[in-house]
Chains A and B, each alone.
Chain A
Amino acid sequence: MNKSYSALKQGFLCCRQCHKVIPEKQQQVIQCPRCQSKVYPRIPNSLSQSWALLISGFILYIPANVLPIMTLTKGGVIRTDTIMSGIINLANIGMAPIAVIVFIASILVPALKMVALAMILLATQFKWRMSVYMRTKMYRMIEFVGRWSMLDVFVISILLGIVKFNKIASVDIEPAGLLFAIVIILTMLAAIRFDSRLIWDDINELS
């Protein structure tokens, strides 16, 4: 494996969409003959786009956790929950396993995901000596796990739908519901816009 050079270095471009390998010595932007999408040597401004999406996601992550996500009115008692207080409430009524699932999906995963993506971006941008295997593994984990944070948004929607029929109780979705959905979408986009081949380009330069 000691003579592993990238396709780009050897005069080939690989289409991001259909994975066709196209000979292109000048490293220009061309149109893929198979799927007609534009083929770039690497996604242009991949790192800046990814940073922009990640940082806006991070900024919105704070109000999404601080603001209330749902208000439940039952028999005259009004209860407003943030994501965290909802989880604590679940644990208090003896639903600890479910509380753990919700905690992992809606607090732990988004936070870790943003930290991990930021680390990958920093390491790639400043050529840190961080294992490329580790970075690739982290990136794949981020891609796989990203969607699962939508769990809480779906749960409050189902609760809203169910409680609508009840005459003595009512559920209102508060701003954090939408904010949280936007955070997840932004971080998913940030992961998509990052070109994973950039991780390996350092290696290609070293060898």
Chain B
Amino acid sequence: MMRSTLDIDNAQHIEACPDCDLLMTAALVKEGYVSQCPRCGYTLEHPTRLSIRNNFFCVFAGLIFYFPAMLLPILQFTMVGNTEALSILVCLQTLFSTGNWGVGLVIFFSLMFVPLVQMILIIFVTTRFYYQVKSHYLAFCFKWYGYLNAWGMLDIFMLSIIVASIKLHDDAELEPGLGLYAFIALLLIKALQTQFLNKKLVWTLIEKHGE
């Protein structure tokens, strides 16, 4: 989508690329289309159908899978005869009980804290839109959703489960547990939700709803 002529007197229709600071006129982007910065190629907007509603349902489904993913065993393994199961929570407990506080905190923050808090913030923002309630905290919540975005690491943990189980291939018989299926579901839902989220639309709505 090309944007060229500038109408500087009317700041309502002006937009700047957050990545390269190019000033341009704002255009209405149709659902399913992507608008990019003409200079640096940054994706400015990617509107999808029923963005807010789909986000709410995605996060709702995500919250259902979150607790099984954290509490149920992700791997079941048999070593020298006895079968044991490992969940993310048990993994965390082991880290703390063996004195690995630093690594434990990194895991707690990136696997448990950030995904949960992000989902709660999105639920808060989307439900406020749905019921047309005014709130001072909307902007605060969505801002923090953005800050936390870089620090959730569910997808990396998935890959490390694969690497770890291959490393232990010879020493133990490994089987996926119920928690792993919940974890994969949580991962897919998270990806879908990010795909549906139209940040620009959310900010416009926040501006409209705020006092």
Contact = CB atoms under 8 A, between A and B. Distances in A.
Given A1-B39, A14-B16, A34-B207, A158 B22 contact: no
B15 A21 contact: yes
Nearest to A15: B18
B75 A168 contact: no
B161 interface: yes
B139 A136 contact: no
Nearest to A161: B91
Contacts of A34: 139, 203, 206-207, 210
Nearest to A89: B167
A62 B109 CA distance: 25
Interface residues of B, number: 61
Given A34-B139, A168-B80, A188-B150, A21 B171 contact: no
Interface residues of A, number: 68
Interface stretch (A45-53, A95-103, A113-121): A95-103
B192 interface: no
A146 B153 CA distance: 11
A49 B181 CA distance: 42
Given A136-B20, A162-B75, A35 B139 contact: yes
A129 interface: no
B77 A162 contact: yes
Interface stretch (B52-60, B61-69, B96-104, B127-135): B96-104
A197 B203 contact: no
A36 interface: yes
Nearest to A93: B170
B40 interface: yes
B48 interface: no
B156 A162 contact: no
A37 B146 CA distance: 12
A80 to B, nearest CB: 16
Contacts of B207: 20, 34
A123 interface: no
Contact of A4 (B22, B90, B163): B22
B172 interface: yes
B19 A162 contact: no
Which of A146, A165, A185, A192 counts the most chain B CB atoms within 10 A?
Answer: A165
A148 interface: yes
A185 B84 CA distance: 33
Contacts of A147: 150, 153, 156
Interface in A154-175: 154-162, 164-169, 172-173
B166 A95 contact: yes
A160 B203 contact: no
Given A21-B16, A177-B103, A150 B110 contact: yes
A181 interface: yes
Given A4-B22, A23-B11, A161 B139 contact: no
A101 B102 CA distance: 25
A5 B23 contact: yes
Interface of B: 8, 11, 14-23, 38-41, 75, 77, 79-80, 82, 84, 86, 90-91, 94-95, 98, 100, 102-103, 106-107, 110, 139-140, 142-143, 146, 150, 153, 156-157, 159-161, 163-164, 166-172, 199-200, 203, 206-207, 210
Given A6-B20, A16-B18, A21-B15, 19 more contacts: A1-B39, A6-B16, A12-B14, A14-B21, A18-B139, A18-B206, A34-B203, A95-B169, A98-B163, A101-B159, A157-B95, A157-B107, A158-B160, A159-B164, A161-B91, A162-B168, A173-B95, A178-B102, A201-B21
22 contacts: A6-B16, A7-B23, A12-B14, A12-B23, A14-B16, A21-B14, A95-B166, A136-B41, A148-B156, A151-B163, A153-B103, A154-B157, A157-B107, A160-B100, A162-B75, A162-B77, A162-B86, A164-B94, A177-B102, A178-B100, A181-B103, A192-B150
